[in-house]
Amino acid sequence: MSAHQEESDWSSVAGDDIDFAYIKATEGGDSTDHYFTDSWDAAGEVGLDRGAYHFFTLCTPGDAQAEHFLTVAPPEPEALAPAVDLEIAGNCSDRPSQAEVDTELDVLLEEVEEAWDRQMVLYIGDDWDRVYPTRDRLDRPLWHRRILLRPDVDGWTIWQIHGMANVDGIDGPADLNIMRPAG
């Protein structure tokens, strides 16, 4: 969930057999999703498991991104593990080297994981992985996008099955995800 879906009726969302939601908190080093706090609170009030995610940008140092994310989405023990969204689409036009991206991403992961005391979930777009191979380099829980087809990678934690789903309480299309049961 993000500002793209605008305000949501979280009671209706929960009533549509939705068990969890990842809500966009931040992007880069200074952009905050203006619906995050209201959505976070409302999703919790109706009993949904919820996690916060950060959209990683190629034009901002990892430490600034981590600091911004942790300011907006501080550690919360009951929450799902935080996630980082890695996509080329919607990112800034800068294309730093693989080594530079690896360094900045590692800084973000280290700082957020230390604060939250758990690993971040990686949402890795295919466009990102073609330009900056990351999936095989980092041993983290994977949020895998594979629309209407079973995941084609092992070890996924969350599977995005749909990108244009109709969910009660959400105006417009929403991503639909399945969380793999633990164990």
Q: How big is the chain, counted in residues? A: 183
Domains of the chain, by residue range, sit at 3-179
Average pLDDT over residues 157-166: 94
pLDDT, tens only, 51-103:
999 999 999 999 999 999 999 999 999 999 999 999 999 999 989 999 999 99
Range of weakest confidence among 2-11, 26-35, 136-145, 163-172: 2-11
Model confidence at 29: pLDDT above 60: yes
Tokens at residue 70, please? Answer: 């942790």
Average pLDDT over residues 31-37: 96
What percent of the chain lies above the pLDDT cut of 90? 83
Model confidence at 2: pLDDT above 70: no
Q: What pLDDT shows up at residue 36?
A: 96
- Give how far Cα 172 sits from Cα of 17, 25, 55, Å: 18, 19, 21
Q: How far apart are CA 105 and CA 97, in angstroms?
A: 12
Long-range Cβ contact pairs of 89-93 (< 8 A, separation 24 or more):
89/125, 89/127, 90/55, 91/57, 91/58, 91/59, 92/28, 92/57, 92/58, 92/59, 93/59
Mean residue pLDDT of the chain comes to 93
Q: What pLDDT shows up at residue 3?
A: 44
Tokens at residue 182, please? Answer: 């633990």
CATH number of 3-179: 3.20.20.80
Contacts of 181 (CB under 8 A, 6+ apart): none
| DSSP output for 130-175 | HHS--TTT--S-EEEE-TTS--SSSSEEEEEEEEEE--TTBSS-EE
Q: What pLDDT shows up at residue 41?
A: 97
pTM for the model stands at 0.93
